[in-house]
């Protein structure tokens, strides 16, 4: 009996080369195929040979099944490769083995949006409303409502894009202050205004023509600089997940008075000096200040009765800091290998 198996094993070796899959299945694996017959014969094998006989027979069966599986896999791959979708993105048309990442890629939010969600979540818990800014606006909201009258030299601080019809791509999210004051007034008004901003800038590792800003305003009776410092410090501590040392230094914006630059002790080097803080130990993070009375009036709020503060912070800059990204342009160049890291 064992001799018979040896003979069949040689035959199988030859057939694996010569026969196609249906022929192999029929000859060896079907109900009345060779292997089934041999399995039935096991009762006639001498007791001391039964174990070896069964083992050899099983091995032969596995060899044939593997050959059939391999061949079917190859066939389906060839079929797959024939179906080319010329509109599909990335390397979707290449074979499955060559694109494991694409198969794994179930979609994820952009690192900027991940950070935005985190920030908005903090502000919502602090009781702020959210209103998204516009991506095209007018002269009134970009300048006049913010205390930049026509011809004001501070307009030159903003290298904005204008359309032929006289609309402007917002250079900051402060364009939304007037709308927010009117929409959420009368005070108390607590609102954050995230949105895309645009500047006519030459780009490099730390400058982009397009970026996100998050504006915030808080208006009520008796609001002071102390409230501003507390709110911004609390927000940044929660966002950067560490206790912060802060200082406020003078700045200039037409729409706030006084105007402040909010500076934090570098949380990465504990003020010793590192590449994130430019080896100064401090990071200038955002502009802020008490909202100018003219801006409140233009939003329908009486500056004699109410006061408030506003701030604007760049989301891209914070994202670079939090995620350890060295080049701001990576956030928008659509490099899937880069984005996949987050």
| Residue number with CB closer to Zn ion (207 or 270) | 270
Number of chain positions touching Zn ion (CB under 5 A): 6
Q: Is 169 in the site for Zn ion (CB under 5 A)?
A: no
Across 262-297, b (16+ Cβ under 10 Å) vs e yields bbbbbbeeeeeeeeebeeeebbebbbbbbbbbbbbe
Task: Give the residue carrying structure tokens 């901003």.
Answer: 197
Least distance from C-beta 274 to Zn ion, angstroms? 3
| Residue number with CB closer to Zn ion (245 or 257) | 245
DSSP conformation letters of 280-342: SSEEEEEEEEEEPHHHHHHTT--TTT-EEEEEEEEHHHHHHHHHT-S-GGGGTS--HHHHTT-
Q: Is 251 in the site for Zn ion (CB under 5 A)?
A: no
Q: Is 260 in the site for Zn ion (CB under 5 A)?
A: no
Q: Indicate which single residue of 1, 29, 269, 339 sits in contact with Zn ion (rule: CB under 5 A).
A: 269
For residue 10, the 8-state DSSP code is: H
Please choose, out of 84-92, 105-113, 115-123, 268-276, the segment that lies near Zn ion by the rule CB under 5 A.
268-276
Q: Indicate which single residue of 277, 290, 315, 321 sits in contact with Zn ion (rule: CB under 5 A).
A: 277
Q: Is 274 in the site for Zn ion (CB under 5 A)?
A: yes
Least distance from C-beta 237 to Zn ion, angstroms? 17
Nearest residue to 323 (alpha-carbon basis) of 243, 239, 264: 239
Q: Is 268 in the site for Zn ion (CB under 5 A)?
A: yes
| Residue number with CB closer to Zn ion (277 or 290) | 277
Q: Is 240 in the site for Zn ion (CB under 5 A)?
A: no
Q: Is 63 in the site for Zn ion (CB under 5 A)?
A: no
| Residue number with CB closer to Zn ion (131 or 276) | 276
| Contact (Cβ atoms closer than 8 angstroms) between residue 260 and residue 229 | no
| Contact (Cβ atoms closer than 8 angstroms) between residue 39 and residue 57 | yes
Peptide bond into 186 cis (omega under 30): yes
Sites of contact with Zn ion (CB under 5 A):
266, 268-269, 274, 276-277
């Amino acid at each position: 009996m064992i001799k018979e198996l040896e003979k069949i094993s040689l035959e199988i070796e030859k057939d694996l080369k010569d026969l196609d899959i249906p022929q192999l299945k029929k000859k060896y694996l079907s109900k009345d195929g060779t292997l089934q017959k041999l399995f039935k014969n096991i009762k006639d094998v001498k007791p001391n040979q039964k174990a070896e006989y069964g083992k050899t027979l099983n091995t032969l069966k596995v060899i044939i099944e593997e050959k059939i599986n391999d061949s079917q896999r190859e066939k389906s791959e060839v079929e797959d490769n024939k179906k080319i979708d010329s509109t599909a993105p990335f390397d979707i048309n290449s074979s499955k083995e060559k694109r494991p990442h694409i198969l794994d890629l179930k979609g994820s939010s952009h690192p900027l949006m991940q950070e935005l969600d985190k920030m908005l979540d903090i502000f919502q818990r602090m009781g702020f409303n959210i209103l998204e800014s516009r991506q095209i606006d007018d002269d009134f909201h970009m300048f006049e409502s913010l205390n930049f009258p026509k011809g004001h030299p501070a307009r030159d601080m903003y290298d904005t894009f204008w359309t032929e019809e006289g609309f402007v791509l917002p250079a900051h999210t402060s364009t939304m202050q007037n709308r927010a004051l009117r929409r959420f007034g009368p005070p108390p008004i607590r609102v954050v205004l995230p949105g895309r901003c645009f500047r006519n800038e030459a780009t490099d590792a730390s400058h982009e023509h397009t970026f996100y800003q998050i504006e915030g305003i808080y208006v009520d009776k008796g609001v002071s600089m102390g409230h501003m410092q507390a709110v911004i410090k609390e927000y940044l501590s929660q966002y950067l997940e560490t206790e912060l040392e802060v200082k406020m230094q003078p700045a200039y914006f037409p729409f706030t008075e006084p105007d402040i630059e909010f500076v934090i002790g570098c949380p990465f080097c504990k003020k010793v000096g590192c590449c994130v803080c430019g080896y100064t130990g401090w990071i200038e993070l955002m502009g802020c200040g008490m909202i100018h009375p003219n801006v409140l009036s233009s939003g329908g709020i009486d500056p004699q009765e109410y006061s408030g503060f506003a701030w604007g912070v760049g989301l891209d800059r914070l994202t670079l800091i939090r995620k350890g990204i060295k080049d701001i342009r990576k956030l928008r160049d659509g490099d899937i290998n880069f984005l996949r890291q987050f």
